[in-house]
Amino acid sequence: MTDGYHIIVCGSLVPDPLQTLEPVPGSTPPALKNEAMLPAVLDPWAAHSLFEAARLARETPGSKVWLVSLGPKSRLQQLMMQVAQKVPFELVALDGPASGFADAAEVAAALAGAIAAIPGLDRSRLLLFGGCASASRDAGATLQMVAEELGIHDQFLAVDELKPAADGSLRVLERIEGGRYLASVCDGPPLCVGWSTGSLPEPPNSPQIGMQNMRAIMPALQRAKPAPVGSQDLAWLDARVPDQRRDTRIVKDASTDAIAAEIVAWIRS
Partner 1 sequence: MEHVLCLLHTDADGAVPQPAREAVTTALRLATELGGAALAIGVIGAGAAAAADQLAGTGVERFVAVDGPDFASSRYATDAAAAAAIARATEATVIVGPATARFARTLPGVARRLGGRIDTQVTGLAVDAGRVIAERWYYRQRIVTKASRTTRPWLLTLAPGIASPWQGEPGQANAERLAVELSAAEQRTRVVGIEQASSGAAQTIRPDADLLLVAGAGWTKKQADGQPHVADAARLVLGFLERTRASLGSSKSLVDQSAEGGAVMPFMTHLNQVGQTGSTPRHPKGLATCCHGEEPHVVGWRFIRERRAINLDPSCGWARGKADVLYVADAFEVMAKVNALLDGAS
Residues 16-75 binding ligand FAD (CB under 6 A) are 17-18, 44
Residues in contact with 126: Cβ distance below 8 Å, sequence separation at least 6, in sequence order: 5, 6, 7, 8, 150, 152, 189, 190, 191
**Cα Rg, the chain, nearest whole Å:** 21
Residue 17 vs 207, nearer CB to ligand FAD: 17
Interaction partner, residue 177 (partner 1, ligand FAD, none; CB < 5-8 Å by kind): partner 1
Residues in contact with 264: Cβ distance below 8 Å, sequence separation at least 6, in sequence order: none
**100 lies in the site for partner 1, by CB under 8 A:** yes
Residue 59 vs 238, nearer CB to partner 1: 238
User: Cβ(170)–Cβ(164) under 8 Å?
Assistant: yes
Interaction partner, residue 155 (partner 1, ligand FAD, none; CB < 5-8 Å by kind): partner 1
Residue 20 vs 269, nearer CB to ligand FAD: 20
**242 lies in the site for ligand FAD, by CB under 6 A:** no
- d(Cα 44, Cα 187) in Å, to the nearest integer? 29
- d(Cα 79, Cα 98) in Å, to the nearest integer? 12
Interaction partner, residue 4 (ligand FAD, partner 1, none; CB < 5-8 Å by kind): none
Q: Which stretch binds partner 1 (CB under 8 A): 59-67, 72-80, 136-144, 216-224?
A: 136-144
- d(Cα 189, Cα 127) in Å, to the nearest integer? 6
The tally of CA atoms less than 13 A away on the side-chain side of residue 197 is 3
- CB-closest chain residue to ligand FAD: 17
Q: Which of residues 47-86 bind partner 1 (CB under 8 A)?
A: none
Binding site residues, ligand FAD, CB under 6 A: 17-18, 44
